[in-house]
Structure formats: C-alpha cells, structure tokens
Amino acid sequence: MGRPARSSPHRLLVEGQDDLFAIAHLIRARFAAAQSAIDLDAPSPNAPWIEQHDGLENLLKAGNIESAAKTYLRLGIVVDADQVPAAHWRAVVGRLATVGVTVPASPATGGVIVPGYQEGWRVGVWLMPDNARPGALEDFLLPLMPGEDALWPEAVRATDAAVQVERRFGVNDDLKARLRCWLAWQAEPGANLGVAVSRGVLDPLSPAADPFARWVEALFA
C-alpha cells in the first residue's frame, strides 16, 4: 500500500491497527480513483500519515494530542464513541483545549473541523461511527457490507449460539464478534478489517461512508 511520508504536515490519529488499515484503505479507494489531492498512493503533501495508538487510553495520554496539534497543519482525530459518546468527545476536546484549540462541546453530524493551533491550520474530530450513536469502527463498517448478504444472518446466528455455550467477550462486543465471524467465511477467510475494505468485501465506495469521506476531504484536501 502506498502511503504518505511520515514527514507529511498532515496527520490522522486513530485508536488502533484496525482503524489505521480500514481508514487507510477507505481513503485510498475513495481518493486514488478520483486523482484527488489526498491520494494515498501518489506522493501528495495532502495525504495524512495515519498514526495508531494501541487504544484510546494511550491516545488520550497527556502529550499525544497536544504535541500533534502544535506540529501539524492538518490534524484529524478519530475515536470510538463506544457506550459513552459524550465522555469520549469531552476527553478529546479537553486535550485540544489545553493548547488553545476550541472544539464545540458536542459532536456534529458530518464531523467537526475547527481552526487549529496556528493561523490557517485545521483540526478535525470524528466520533465513530457517525458522531451520534454509541459504537465503534465495526458499526461504521457494517453498512459497507453488500445489502441482503446471505451469510450475515448466519454469522449473527452462529455468534449468538456460541455465546449461549460460553460468553468470552464483553456484552458490548457482539457486533465485533459477528463481523469477524462473517469475515471468516469470505473468499479470504479471516481477513482483517483493512484487507476486507481493500478487497471490497466491505465496500469503501458505499454511500454509507460518504459523510466520513467528505470530512476527510474537507480536512485534508
């Protein structure tokens, strides 16, 4: 996968590896075709270097967001809403406030983009899946699945049956398990979310991803 240089003045902070690869492939599929200014394959100064933090807790550690806000002309931050959208939003907003970047108290449909640390700089925040509902990357990716997929109801049933035998994952992780169960039955069994997006198993061009792509374009292009 072609990627922008680490020295790019644009950066996107995400929680983990899954976010990194899923988002990278989505951006690649969306913007390469259009010869866009944020093509991840072409050496473009607009393409953000995507930086993953091994979890939200690490991402929110003092220094990470502040340092990035002071360094990059365009900074995007993507975090999961999980079950507490307001709390995660506040945590990110609080970090940005310490360096003088003001973000609205609540997320907005379509994501938020505000003036950054220096004049002409921008900071964007996106709360997965859609800046409104609780959830995570998987909730964002689920609508990218082809409609009326024959195996999806089976994956749901199989996962639920397994839980009946023994629940080994958290009560909020049902979708994560069902989606990976479904991925286990694709042509490339058990491909990770990034590969699924790159192969079109989860369609990066689905209209469901339009709002996120528009946010990416508005922030980095």
Footprint of another protein on this chain (CB under 8 A)? 6-7, 11, 51, 53, 61-64, 66-68, 70-71, 117-118
Sole residue written with tokens 């075709």: 33
| Token pair recorded at residue 172 | 């909020």
Residue 53 falls in which region: left (phi positive, over 0), alpha (psi -120 to 50) or beta: alpha
Minimal distance in Å, beta carbon 72 to another protein? Answer: 8
Pairing of strands 122-128, 112-115: antiparallel
In this structure, which amino acid lies at residue 73? L
CB of residue 7 vs another protein: minimum separation in angstroms? 6
Of the two residues 100 and 190, which places its CB atom closer to another protein in the complex?
A: 100
Place of tokens 């082809």: 146
Residues in the chain: 221
Distance, CA of 44 to CA of 57 (rounded, Å): 31
Q: Determine the Cα angle at 84 with ends 138 and 49, to 5°.
A: 55
Closest distance of CB 1 from another protein, Å: 18
Q: Which two tokens stand for residue 1?
A: 């996968």
Number of H helices, E strands in the chain: 9, 5
Residue with smaller CB distance to another protein, 5 or 132: 5
CB of 145 to another protein, least distance (A): 32
Query: 17 vs 71, which CB is nearer to another protein?
Result: 71
Q: Per DSSP, which regions of the chain are E strands? A: 10-14, 49-52, 74-80, 112-115, 122-128
The Cα–Cα gap between 77 and 212 comes to 12
**Min separation Cβ 175 and another protein, Å:** 29
Report the C-alpha gap between 125 and 69 in whole angstroms.
12
User: Please, what is the minimum distance in Å from the beta carbon of residue 127 to another protein?
Assistant: 21
